[in-house]
Structure 1
């Protein structure tokens, strides 16, 4: 089986933030696409359309039956994946997803910040994805793995409870139909840059589990 791994960065970042993970996965033998999205100010629809068109290009370029498409979404990139895959046009293209430190259900920080800054989502439009109404529901044929950091740091940690990475907590990152959930003691801004995380992603892609021992 051949795998094509597609990396999707988080809020207020670019593809550069995912270069360490790209390099680690390439060292492990994967063909990696590291995409770039306007995830700071423009409406989220622009990013959704970009990702949808990328997936459709893969489909119509003649994907081999022996090639699996794996999406790896970090931070808000996970929510971008989930929202884009609601479109029926891209159904059946993606085989596996790994969410890394991605707020899939809610965001405590986002909710609290909006109390102070009601226009937050009007300025940083992609944050609209973090509203409670934007729940996720993925096709059951897609194998989903979730990686969550549990090393709290920074000024927001006191809001997030016992298990958090300083930006998102354990409950925010859960997806009920995930095949595997992995907690690792890393902070939010480092979790996707470690070779150890890349190895867990590799295990999930190739064997369907994060830990193989």
Structure 2
């Protein structure tokens, strides 16, 4: 794909993406950081607040796959995988910016946080949300799959807090932390595989039509 084709694809992408949920999540995160600024002095409260910020960021970014113009892009010279990759990059940016701000605010309070593990949790949730949206788009044919990600993300987060200790996903640093994040890695890998599958061109693998002699 040439640079000109990339630029020609980026322009309609800017107007096609639903930015409102992502912008709204940024606003809510900013408000949360202002109202709960004092909570960042306590490691336990900061851990809970940062996780809440991650969930909010993911919920806002998951709507980037909404695409009412999908049908008109089918004749585009780019592949489905390429167009999706640009949207995934956009989602990653929508999540990374508030995450970096939260990191900065926690550090400004002199509070220690296990950022490596928390970032794995964030990446797994984002991949899960995008995999849900991509799956709904592929199998249900809808152009606004973002709304389907909300109950899935909330279900995973709320369900994770109900798991027994031996299967825990959430917890504080200490015994079981590494095992819990190994499970997050598994969720991330599974979601990534779904994304790869759903990113395939619908026509991929179909046999070419046979032209019979007359």
Say whether the fold is shared (TM-score over 0.5).
Answer: no
Bigger proportion of residues as strand: 1
Q: Which has the higher contact order (CA 8 A, sep 6+)?
A: 2
Larger Rg: 2
Bigger proportion of residues as helix: 2
